[in-house]
């Protein structure tokens, strides 16, 4: 008997096209400025902690890890200045976004988000067979509060600083959202280290707030898959029901603790990233190119030809020119609101100079 597999797929999954992550080239000869990784290695204490966990013969790997990632939860709580029962750890923050949708959404309990936002959200919503309502930012890129509050959605996914624009919103905006939205507000803070503040502490005040974060962007650990969530213990108990019982391996748990405990190392490296962000924004100013002033570790900019033309073709032309020079950026040809723009992750000074050189060359082609 030959089964028609397509007819057996669940209704949510049958509508989904898998999320396309940014390209991850196999070779190291690229100037990789496409997926917003930290341009510096993690704290040296991370490697020490991993080596210590492995030991001489790797015997500890024989045993399952701590199911709650208890020490990591403690380190997360300490880092963000909240009590321990407000912290949760997961396999990257994508994992928590997925858990939140599974825990709080179904056919009648829906999601609302802003347009543009992180392009994974629609995929997660479809998988859960729930509706995702995408509300455009106001023309001045402010937040349409009324529309969000009247959406009837159960959960609001709010990326702050926004991806892919990099625009950051302050504490009063987050408070205004959380106080007026009749549901759960998930603030996705993947990029908050570059904004200089986090809403994490507010979870002790508001029981409908989840703040997620990741070691992938600000701690140089995208390869380890360590994410966190901060929320009221009642919310975390629900996420605990949904997660894998061993959702973080032993090495990730010790790496996360070591990274979160080394603030001095990261503070110094963060300054270098912020300096490069300022330099590149000044470069775009000097060219007269449009960009969103960024609170993240990337800049979304709109390239112009020498005779002042912008457009989808122009963005594609620069993207491809850079690619030919082994400089990889991210652009979104299928997203109408941003298809004239390209997103540049902030790299080291050397990487940024290569980007500037190749871009100057393109302008003068």
Contacts with ligand PMP, residue ranges (CB under 6 A): 92-94, 118, 159, 163, 188, 190, 214, 216, 222, 227
CA atoms within 13 A on the CB side of 69: 30
Taking the complex as a whole, how short is the minimal distance between the CB of residue 238 and ligand PMP, in angstroms? 20
Q: How far from chain centre, in Å, is Cα 286?
A: 29
CA 58 to chain centre: 32
Residue 49: CB minimum distance to ligand PMP, A: 19
Exposure class string for 46-70: b at 16+ Cβ within 10 A, else e: beebbeebeeeeeeeeeeebeebbe
Please say which residue, 161 or 303, places its beta carbon nearer to ligand PMP: 161
260 Cβ contact list (under 8 Å, min separation 6): 72, 75, 76, 78, 79, 215, 219
Closest approach, Cβ 188 to ligand PMP, in A, equals 5
- Considering the complex, state which of residue 92 and residue 183 has its C-beta at the smaller distance from ligand PMP: 92
Q: H-type helices in 85-140, by residue range?
A: 93-104, 121-127
Q: Which is nearer to ligand PMP, 256 or 359 (CB)?
A: 256
**What are the CA-CA distances from residue 349 to residues 37, 134, 194, 275, 354 (Å)?**
15, 37, 17, 9, 9
Q: Tokens 């019982």 correspond to what residue? A: 245
3-class DSSP state of 157: strand
Nearer to ligand PMP, 92 or 347 (CB): 92
Report in angstroms the alpha-carbon separations of 279 from 34, 58, 139, 141, 350. 18, 45, 27, 23, 12
Shortest Å distance, C-beta 177 to ligand PMP: 17
**What crossing angle do the helices spanning 349-363 and 312-324 adopt, rounded to 10°?**
120
338 and 314 in contact (C-beta within 8 Å)?
no
- Collapsing DSSP states into helix, strand and coil, what is residue 330? strand
307, 11 Cβ separation under 8 angstroms: no
Nearer to ligand PMP, 183 or 229 (CB): 229
| CA pair distance 90, 252, nearest whole angstrom | 10
In angstroms, what is the minimal distance from the CB of 308 to ligand PMP? 32
Q: How far is the CB of 298 from ligand PMP (least distance, A)?
A: 9
SS3 228: strand
Residue closer to ligand PMP (CB basis): 159 or 344: 159
Q: Which is nearer to ligand PMP, 86 or 118 (CB)?
A: 118
What is the closest distance, in whole angstroms, from the C-beta atom of residue 190 to ligand PMP in the complex? 4
Nearer residue to ligand PMP within complex by CB, 65 or 161: 161
Minimum separation from the CB atom of position 20 to ligand PMP (A): 11
Shortest distance (Å) from residue 277 CB to ligand PMP? 16
The bridge status of strand 227-231 relative to strand 327-328 is: unpaired
Q: What is the total residue count of the chain?
A: 365
Q: Residue 191 or residue 301: which is nearer to ligand PMP going by CB?
A: 191
């Amino acid at each position: 008997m030959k089964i028609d597999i397509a007819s057996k797929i669940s209704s949510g999954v049958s509508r989904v096209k898998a999320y396309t992550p940014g390209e991850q080239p196999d070779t190291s000869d690229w100037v990789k400025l496409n997926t917003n990784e930290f341009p510096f290695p993690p704290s040296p204490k991370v490697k020490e902690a991993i080596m210590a966990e492995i030991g001489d013969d790797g015997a500890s790997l024989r045993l399952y890890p701590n199911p709650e990632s208890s020490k990591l939860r403690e380190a997360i709580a300490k880092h963000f200045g909240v009590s321990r029962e407000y912290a949760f750890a997961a396999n990257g923050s994508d994992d928590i976004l997925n858990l939140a949708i599974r825990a709080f959404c179904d056919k009648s309990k829906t999601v609302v988000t802003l347009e543009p936002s992180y392009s994974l959200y629609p995929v997660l919503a479809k998988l859960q067979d729930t509706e995702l309502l995408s509300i455009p930012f106001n023309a001045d890129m402010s937040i349409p509060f009324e529309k969000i509050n009247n959406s009837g959605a159960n959960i609001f996914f709010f990326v702050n600083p926004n991806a892919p624009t990099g625009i950051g919103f302050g504490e009063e905006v987050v408070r205004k959202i959380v106080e007026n939205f009749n549901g759960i507000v998930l603030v996705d803070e993947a990029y908050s280290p570059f904004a200089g503040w986090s809403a994490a502490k507010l979870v002790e005040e508001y029981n409908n707030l989840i703040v997620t974060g990741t070691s992938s962007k600000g701690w140089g650990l995208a390869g380890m898959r360590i994410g966190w969530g901060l929320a009221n213990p009642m919310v975390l108990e629900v996420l605990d029901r949904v997660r894998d019982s061993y959702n973080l391996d032993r090495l990730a748990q010790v790496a996360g603790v070591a990274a979160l405990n080394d603030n001095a190392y990261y503070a110094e490296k963060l300054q270098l990233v912020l300096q490069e962000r300022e330099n590149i924004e000044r470069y775009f100013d000097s060219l007269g190119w449009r960009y969103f002033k960024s609170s993240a570790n990337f800049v979304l900019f709109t390239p112009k030809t020498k005779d002042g033309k912008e457009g989808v073709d122009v963005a594609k032309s620069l993207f491809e020119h850079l690619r030919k020079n082994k400089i990889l950026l991210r652009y979104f040809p299928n997203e109408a609101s941003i298809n004239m723009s390209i997103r540049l992750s902030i790299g080291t000074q050397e990487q940024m100079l290569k980007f500037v050189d190749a871009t100057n060359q393109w302008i003068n082609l």
